[in-house]
Structure 1
Amino acid sequence: MADLGYVFRRIARMDFGRMFKVIDKCHNKCGRNKVSLFFDCVFTGLIYGAGYMDFYQFRMYDMNAKEKKTVITRGVNNSIVRKYNDKKSIYKFDDKIKFNEIFNDYMNREWMEVKEDNADDFAAFCGRHAEIIVKPVSQSCGVGVEKILTTGEDLKALHQRLFKNGQILVEEVAGQHDAINAIYPLSVNTLRIVTLKNQVATALFRIGNGGNVVDNFNHGGMVTRIDVDDGIVKWPAIDKDTNVYEVHPYTGYKLIGTKIPMWEEAKAMCVEASKVVPEVGYIAWDVCVGKDRPCLIEGNNYPGYDLYQLPVHREGNMGLYPHFKEIMGDD
């Protein structure tokens, strides 16, 4: 059974209006009676630690008890985070400047911090890189990330704007491998490689879409699963609106069968990086497949479990919890 303390805290903060809208969506998907779905959703939350969005997104209304038990739900994911990620150390991942300092050896690109008094350094950086990526240091899900062409810009004014907006992390644009660029050229299409106890637990491929310059699932991107053993995409991609893609709509690229370049190097890099801060043992790494080597983009100390087990990527309607348990062993 799920941690009852966690369940009751979730109930106290629950948006019941949104929950009933989600039940409506479930009904539209499967045709089941809404009252039956409501009680199934509540029961699934109590027993398996699933939020109502888990219930909808993982189609748990179409799963039996044996199948539900295999899903990494919000409650299960939280328990793994609590077990392996020391609260006193997670700031090393939350603060993007601190992260870049610690993991600089794996970044494989130039970066700098915008400060009030370093406009000249910023101008020199832009002189070396005509195109830059700017990020706020504490946001997530692609919020506040911009790609800027600096040619012809008033660099002093741009420096002031970035400092004022808190977009103080400036990075050289990570050049991606031609094979990845061919799939969707407007964004850096990143790998999401999840490590648990210094082992690769699962891996995903995030791809931009719709003219967006970020590949984030919450900003119009799509995601598919990578076979960890051989680095091949064997499933279609899906976006947040549950549209499924076997072919990328922007380029016409066939997704299934894609072989990720330098896959073994990317895995090895993440395993090595996972040992740098041993107090944080459950990490989702975002990796760019560069032209000649993988580049670390960032590490997430609260891995987004919502992407792991989407129905279109499941085998036998089973989730990944049994596999994660194998890695955790007797801990």
Structure 2
Amino acid sequence: MNMVKYLRTVMKDKERKPIYQILKEAIHCVLIEKELPYYYFTSLLYKKGAADYRNYIGHKKVCNIIIHYFYPNGRNDNLENKLTFSEILLSNDVHTPKIIAHSTGKTIRFNEEEIVLTNDSQLKELLIKLVNASQSRSIFVKPVDGEAGKHTFKFDRGPISLFKLTELYRLLDKESFIFQETVIQHHKINEIYPNSLNTLRIHTFLDKKTNNVEIVSALMRFGSRGNVMDNASAGGIFIPLRTDNWSLIKKANAFLSSGGKSYTKHPSTNYIFDGTTLPHPEQITHILTQAARLFENEFIGWDLALTETGPIIIEANDNPHLIMAQMACGGFKNHSRYKEIFAKYI
């Protein structure tokens, strides 16, 4: 979305501040951050009741953090490669979804056997086998090194969508995929929104000197309006989390590119967010402490789901979405730990 489309969305927003105030604050952002004030709009700081815009960093500083703090030596394949990541967690008894099969080109490895696909009919037969082999009778198919929910497919028992089938078959030549058991989430999370796996994004910091793991901030993502993905970049919404009692705080937001709306209750189920406490609070802290010590990165963004029996780690990110993290915590400059962790860059 370009600036013109952003501004159109802002102008139509019934929750926006008066125009003169938006202009004044946007100009001040230019002076503070020495860049065009895109972040003022993408962080929804133009809305009434928004956090203090002066506590936010701009996109240039976000990029500096990514380049110089997250990636000084390149990306960490142990985190980014979902096959490798899963093997590390499972070998250390950390709960993560079972990978039933994985692909390299049109060769699928399943049950110690390599199956070479020559047409999409064979893929359809294989998908039916994989669904039946899953305890949840449902599978998620996603790129080994993908992100933001791109090129992700869900297959359940019953008719297989011809569009999804042909699209996946086409993509097999371009990307490697994992075929993973679908996680069945806790009934309490289903009450909020049942159509997607709604995940927590939790940011941890590992002190290399003491080996202490600290939870810095957290938020929770939800799918919306029938969507099976909870990614905010795919139309989902997200809401800040208190980490002392693992409860939802006030209201959720959609990205500006998805309309920038705010919600005190879920738009599909009318479930009221504020104050809702999550199940398994003590186990959340335990599993993250255990997992964070397995990787060399100081700062990691974890995607974690909640099941009836406890939390399960879905993925980890060595470059978690800092715009979303900053929105959820009210600005890095106003957060005691982010001010210390990112001190060189903000």
User: Shorter-normalised TM-score: what interval?
Assistant: 0.7 to 0.9
Q: What is aligned with 2:39?
A: 54
| 24-33 or 297-306, which deviates more | 24-33
Q: What is aligned with 2:89?
A: 103
1:171 partnered with 2:180:
yes
Residue 262 of structure 1: how far off its partner (Å): 0.8
Residue 69 of structure 1: how far off its partner (Å): 5.3
**Residues 319, 243 of structure 1: alpha-carbon distance in 2 compared, 3 angstrom cutoff:** farther
**Residues 294, 72 of structure 1: alpha-carbon distance in 2 compared, 3 angstrom cutoff:** farther
Q: What is aligned with 2:302?
A: 285
Task: Please state whether the residue corresponding to 1:204 is helix, strand or coil.
Answer: strand
Aligned length: 304
Equivalent residue in structure 2 for 1:44, among 32, 36, 52? 32
| 78-87 or 296-305, which deviates more | 78-87
Residue 20 of structure 1: how far off its partner (Å): 6.0
Residue 220 of structure 1: how far off its partner (Å): 1.4
Residues 249-279 of structure 1 show CA distances to partners (whole Å, capped at 9, x for unaligned) of: 222211111101112211221222111112x
Q: Which blocks of at least 5 consecutive residues in structure 2 are unaligned?
A: 112-125, 207-212
Q: Which letter maps to 1:221?
A: G
Residues 63-103 of structure 1 show CA distances to partners (whole Å, capped at 9, x for unaligned) of: 9xx95553244344444443355534522222222222223
1:271 partnered with 2:280:
no
> Is contact 1:24-1:34 (8 Å) kept?
no
**Residues 234, 118 of structure 1: alpha-carbon distance in 2 compared, 3 angstrom cutoff:** closer
Residue 329 of structure 1: how far off its partner (Å): 8.5
Residue 212 of structure 1: how far off its partner (Å): 0.3
Q: What is aligned with 1:31?
A: 19
Residue 137 of structure 1: how far off its partner (Å): 2.1
Residue 207 of structure 1: how far off its partner (Å): 0.7
Task: Please state whether the residue corresponding to 1:134 is helix, strand or coil.
Answer: strand
- Cα separation, 2, equivalents of 1:35 and 1:125: 55
- Cα separation, 1, equivalents of 2:341 and 2:302: 18
Residue 218 of structure 1: how far off its partner (Å): 1.2
Residues 82-140 of structure 1 show CA distances to partners (whole Å, capped at 9, x for unaligned) of: 33555345222222222222233434331131244446636654332221000012332
| 163-172 or 289-298, which deviates more | 163-172
Equivalent residue in structure 1 for 2:337, among 319, 323, 326? 323
Residue 321 of structure 1: how far off its partner (Å): 4.1
> Is contact 1:188-1:213 (8 Å) kept?
yes
1:90 partnered with 2:76:
yes
- Cα separation, 1, equivalents of 2:238 and 2:43: 14
**Residues 227, 51 of structure 1: alpha-carbon distance in 2 compared, 3 angstrom cutoff:** farther
- Cα separation, 2, equivalents of 1:26 and 1:239: 13
Query: Which structure dedicates a bigger proportion of its chain to strand?
Result: 2
**Residues 189, 24 of structure 1: alpha-carbon distance in 2 compared, 3 angstrom cutoff:** closer
> Is contact 1:287-1:294 (8 Å) kept?
yes
- Cα separation, 1, equivalents of 2:291 and 2:298: 11
Q: Which letter maps to 1:106?
A: V
Q: Which letter maps to 2:310?
A: R
When normalised by structure 1's length, the TM-score is 0.77
Q: Which blocks of at least 5 consecutive residues in structure 1 are unaligned?
A: 1-14
> Is contact 2:198-2:220 (8 Å) kept?
yes
Residue 293 of structure 1: how far off its partner (Å): 1.4
1:160-309 alignment, distance < 5 Å: 163-164=172-173, 166=175, 168-197=177-206, 198-240=213-255, 241-278=259-296, 280-309=297-326
Task: Please state whether the residue corresponding to 1:174 is helix, strand or coil.
Answer: coil
**Residues 89, 162 of structure 1: alpha-carbon distance in 2 compared, 3 angstrom cutoff:** closer
Task: Please state whether the residue corresponding to 1:226 is helix, strand or coil.
Answer: strand
